[in-house]
Amino acid sequence: MAWVALIVSGMLEAVWATALGASHNFAKKKPTIVFIVAIVLSMVGLSFAMTTLPTGTAYAVWVGIGAVLTVVLAVVRKQERLTVARTALLVVLIGCVVGLKAAS
């Protein structure tokens, strides 16, 4: 159950990071509300996961999921380009997250 909470929390990290950028320094109401709700839920899930998972592993997996999905969202929204180098680095990052899960 902790891993499910951690994965969902990592996904919510991508949501709040994207909403933070879209809020334009908290000037836009809807993205600001999405940011607040997503960050609170993300932290609650991370905290829950850390009750049974090692802190370092949980945090690294949470950040890795959030970072990869934030880039994917930016590419889908045509805010960033996906180059060969960035794709390779994202694959390495995903490999590291999977490796941390496997090693714990």
In the chain, where are the structural domains located? 2-103
Q: Which amino acid is at 57?
A: T
Average pLDDT value for residue range 11-36: 97
State pTM to two decimals. 0.87
Q: Which amino acid is at 29?
A: K
Backbone angles phi, psi at 12, to 5 degrees: -65, -25
Band (pLDDT 50/70/90 cuts) for residue 98 is: confident
Query: For 80, which DSSP code?
Result: S
pLDDT value at 101 more than 80: no
Q: Tens digits of per-residue pLDDT, 35-74?
A: 999 999 999 999 999 999 999 889 989 999 999 999 999 9
